Structure 1
Amino acid sequence: MESIFQENNFMTLMVIGILIMLAFAMAFVLFVNHSQKRLLKEQMRVQKLAYKHQEELLHATILTQEKERHRIARDLHDEIGSKLNVIFLNVCRLKKYGKADEEIGAITTEVETVVNTTINSIRFISHELLPPTLEEFGLIETIRELQHSYNLIGDLQIDFTAEGENKIDDSLIELNLFRVLQELINNSIRHGKATEIDLKLSIEKEAITFSYQDNGIGFDSTNKAHKKGLGMKNIESRLRIINATYEVNSSLKKGIQVVIEIAQPNSN
């Protein structure tokens, strides 16, 4: 009888021991799981802070670039441009008074051509850095001016359609959309070998929609490396500044299509 009692006690102690071990094992598993969750949460928090810091640095860099572009454009137009205009006028005067001398006439004609070409180049660079039309008349007229410049050269034909309102009220949106357009055109020419670009801008009370399509060689849009390799990082940063969403579609030999949408502040 006593042996049976001892055996029962042993079994009870054994069961209790197993239960305690299971409890410890469960507690350990819960502790590890909780620790992993905390660690993962902390890693996500650190990554989020790092991403936010990177975005802030990128935005600050873009703003600094715009200020520097503004300064250089003004200096080119006001300082160098005005001095070249004076030189051009004086060369014209020399040419007028040197008509009798063929050598002087030839030199002044050559200098006049070089100065005139330089003035046009500076005007083009200045407009690329900061189009005066953008500040004075808005994005639509600036795109039309850009369209005219490219169509006049002849290597690239741009078709542009504007719908809805005539102007975007937010100058920051206009500036960043124009910079994105410049980047896209550069990519179409340099990488896409495009000869035609179709642009559409719709300005409604609810949202602004901008679509871009070229007839270039295109790329595999499912390959993320291709997107990053086409200057999309800078484009993405500018679009984030103005809280825009975008979609890129492309395939080989079918060009690229980009659709950008921006919710108007008063649409909510």
Structure 2
Amino acid sequence: MADLDLKALDKIIKNTLSAVEKSKTQIFEIYEAARNEMENVKKDVEKVKQETINVIFLVDELEKKERRARLRLMEVSRNFRVYKEEDIKDCYDEAKNLQIELAVAREQEQNLRRQRDELEIRLKQLKNTVEKAEGLVSQVGVVLGYLGNQMGGVVNQIESLQQSQIFGAKIIKAQEEERRRVAREIHDGPAQLMANVVFRAEVCERLIDIDIDRAKGELRDLREQVRGCLKETRKIIFDLRPMALDDLGLVPTLKRFLDSLKERANVHGEIRILGEEKRLDSHVEIGLFRVIQEALNNIEKHAKASSVKVIIEFRPGFVSAVVEDDGAGFNSAETAGSESFGLLGMRERMNLLNGQVTVSSEIGKGTKVSIKVPFK
């Protein structure tokens, strides 16, 4: 009877996790579709903007020609006795044709500007959809991990501690391999494309010699927007999988992250190492870095801190870390029952590594996150 109950429980757990995973997949498909549409609209915006610039050049050229034709017509009209009737007619026809061409070009310019504005509005809406879908995927992923840990704990009570550790390490390895793949794709695709667009914008800026202020203003705006996108793309790459973690290890990667935190949020970071620094197993370094990273992200978003201190201590058999800021703080006793997804994710990672994480804070006295992870 006990074996039958265990099988039924295992089936319920698998079905539940499968349903959540399916929801995550569906949200990700929405995200992918919206992102692809956003890229297509970006291309359309660039195409329309280039066409608008070409039409602006055409309008300026036609205005000059039309102005010269009118002056010529006025001259011929004043001296009609000097010119033949055929010459006068030719001048009149030329001026009339140029006026028609100019009117058509101006109408085309207005249509292109209107089309550009509509595409930019659509692009902004698609960007919001992509950001929301991406956030949902992340949140569902955290919930999935949390449910997997909580439900799996029921079955893990009959399993050995070694099996639990292997299972947790495999989960972290799978997650980080996926992060590595996405980071490589973003680096080879959007980041390179944005850099190329910046270069093209600079070339166009040097070539423009008609209506300089208006044309350069639009191109400068475009260039700054693309640079912002490039900067954000590189930040996403770092958040997904910092390459330095594999090559240099935990401490150098944290130093780089603190430098970027100072640049982004003007939060001064200090790191201290106690004991003999050493490389740890990959899954231990990854788990520890992610927890510290989440603590630093929370400081950036919520703490209103001016400085943060990170202390890493290497001891025989375990490594500990403390992340402490001088921010606004909060009443940790009042929020104990309403932990955020970020804190839940931190606890989840520590559970998989058989580690511990505690958060203590007081209003006006900052926040302290303490972490301890064993290793062999």
Shorter-chain TM range is: 0.5 to 0.7
How far apart are the structure 1 equivalents of 2:264 and 2:154? 42
Structure 1 residues 92, 191: closer, same or farther in 2, change over 3 A?
A: closer
Letter in 1 for 2:153: Y
Q: Assess, with a 3 A threshold, how the Cα gap between structure 1 residues 231 and 118 changes in structure 2: closer, same or farther.
A: closer
Aligned: 1:71 with 2:181:
yes
1:123 maps to 2:225: no
Matching of residue 210 in structure 1 with residue 321 in structure 2: yes
Identify the range of structure 1 (101-110 vs 143-152) with the bigger mean alpha-carbon deviation: 101-110
Q: Match of 1:77, SS?
A: helix
The separation in 1 between residues aligned to 2:315 and 2:248, in whole angstroms, is 18
Specify whether residues 258 and 106 from structure 1 end up closer, same or farther in structure 2 by C-alpha distance, changes over 3 A only.
closer
The residue type equivalent to 2:195 in the other structure is N
Deviation at 1:152, TM superposition (A): 2.2
1:94 counterpart SS class: helix
Query: Residue in 2 aligned with 1:111?
Result: 222
Give, in whole Å, the separation in 1 of the partners of 2:209 and 2:353: 58
The match for 1:51 among 118, 129, 153 is 153
Q: Choose 1 or 2 for highest CA Rg.
A: 1
Aligned residues: 222
Q: 1:105 to 1:68 in 2, by over 3 A?
A: same
The SS at the match of 1:224 is coil
TM-score scaled by structure 2?
0.50
CA distance in 1, matches of 2:198, 2:374: 49
Letter in 2 for 1:242: L
- Relative to structure 1, the CA distance from residue 64 to residue 219 in structure 2 (aligned partners, 3 Å threshold; closer, same or farther) is farther
Specify the alignment match of 1:18 in structure 2. none
Residue number in structure 2 paired with 1:220: 332
Aligned to 1:198: 309
Match of 1:175 among 264, 286, 289: 286
2:189 alignment partner, SS class: helix
Tell me if structure 2 keeps the 8 A contact 1:138–1:174: yes
Q: CA deviation at 1:166?
A: 4.1
The residue identity in structure 1 corresponding to 2:234 is R
Distance in structure 1 (CA, Å) of the matches to 2:269 and 2:354:
27
Greater percentage in helix: 2
Q: How big is the shift at 1:99?
A: 5.5
- The match for 1:81 is 191
Equivalent in the alignment of 1:244? 355
Tell me if structure 1 keeps the 8 A contact 2:321–2:372.
Answer: yes
TM-score (norm 1): 0.68
Q: What is the aligned counterpart of 1:98 among 190, 208, 232?
A: 208
- Which deviations, in whole Å up to 9, do the C-alpha atoms of 1:213-264 show, x marking residues without a partner? 12232323486315x3473321111112222233433334333222222233
- Aligned match of 1:185: 296
Is the contact between residue 159 and residue 198 of structure 1 (CA under 8 Å) also seen in structure 2? Answer: yes
How far apart, in 1, do the equivalents of 2:183 and 2:261 lie?
A: 20
Query: In structure 1, what is the equivalent of residue 263 of structure 2?
Result: 152
Does the 8 Å contact 2:332/2:359 carry over to 1? Answer: no
Write 1 or 2 for the structure with the bigger share of strand.
1
- Residue 24 of structure 1 aligns with which residue? none
Name the SS of the counterpart of 2:332 in structure 1.
coil
Verify the 8 A CA contact 1:221 1:251 in the aligned structure 2: no
C-alpha displacement of 1:170: 1.4
CA distance in 2, matches of 1:232, 1:78: 32
Unaligned runs of 5+ in 2: 10-149, 157-163
CA contact (8 A) 1:219 1:255 kept: no
Q: Deviations over 1:43-85 (max 9, x none)?
A: 9xx8x98525588998876555434332222221111111222
| 1:112 maps to amino acid | R
How many angstroms apart in 2 are the aligned matches of 1:70 and 1:161? 28
Query: Which segments of 5 or more consecutive residues in structure 1 lack a partner in the other structure?
Result: 1-38
Q: Equivalent residue of 2:323, what SS?
A: strand
| Structure 1, 209-218 or 159-168: larger mean CA deviation | 159-168
Query: 1:217 aligns to what SS in structure 2?
Result: coil
* Separation in 2, partners of 1:100, 1:136: 51
- After superposition, the Cα gap between the structure-2 partners of 1:49 and 1:247, relative to the gap in structure 1 and judged at 3 Å, is closer
Q: Which amino acid aligns with 1:217?
A: G
Say if 2:374 is the partner of 1:263.
yes
Go from structure 1 to structure 2 and tell me whether the alpha carbon gap of 1:136 and 1:60 turns closer, same or farther (over 3 Å shift): closer
